[in-house]
A = this chain, B = another copy of it.
């Protein structure tokens, strides 16, 4: 029962080394989305934080060895579902970046922690809090 995804675009950065996590990153780069999705970007504005889901396309295949891992910046091991390691059962990454500028299908962003050429799977609004209401 495989679920198939296709890239909607690609990350570009000129950095040779990227920060290990978006929460430590000020690195700038671009998200170039396919022209056919251009209209879907129309409400993304400078200053917004957005969620980017992407494919960890350079990760090794998952194995039981990766169920518990010690992140590179920590001294302690954690279950894979409590950390952001690229070695996970489904290699989907999640980063939050700040939009600096939008030019057609190209989003200039800050906070990159993906490698150059990383396939993007989705962009979503970044929602931090619950709301009171009855919707």
Interface of A with B (CB < 8 Å)? Answer: 1-8, 19-24, 36-37, 39-44, 50-51, 53, 55, 57, 64, 67-68, 73, 78-84, 88-90, 92, 94, 96, 111, 119, 121-125, 127-131, 133-135
Contact (Cβ within 8 A) A79 B3: no
Contact (Cβ within 8 A) A37 B131: no
Q: How near does chain B come to A71, taking the closest CB pair, in angstroms?
A: 10
Contact (Cβ within 8 A) B36 A122: no
- Give the number of times this chain occurs in the complex, counting copies: 2
A-B contact pairs, 25 of them (CB 8 A): A2-B4, A2-B5, A3-B6, A3-B7, A3-B55, A3-B119, A4-B5, A5-B90, A6-B89, A24-B134, A37-B80, A40-B67, A40-B79, A40-B80, A40-B81, A43-B78, A43-B79, A73-B135, A81-B123, A81-B124, A83-B125, A84-B124, A84-B125, A90-B122, A128-B128
Provide the bound-state CA to CA distance between A134 and B96, in Å.
18
Contact (Cβ within 8 A) A81 B127: no
Contact (Cβ within 8 A) B4 A4: yes
Which residues in B have their C-beta under 8 angstroms from that of A40?
A: 67-68, 79-81, 89
Q: How near does chain B come to A4, taking the closest CB pair, in angstroms?
A: 4
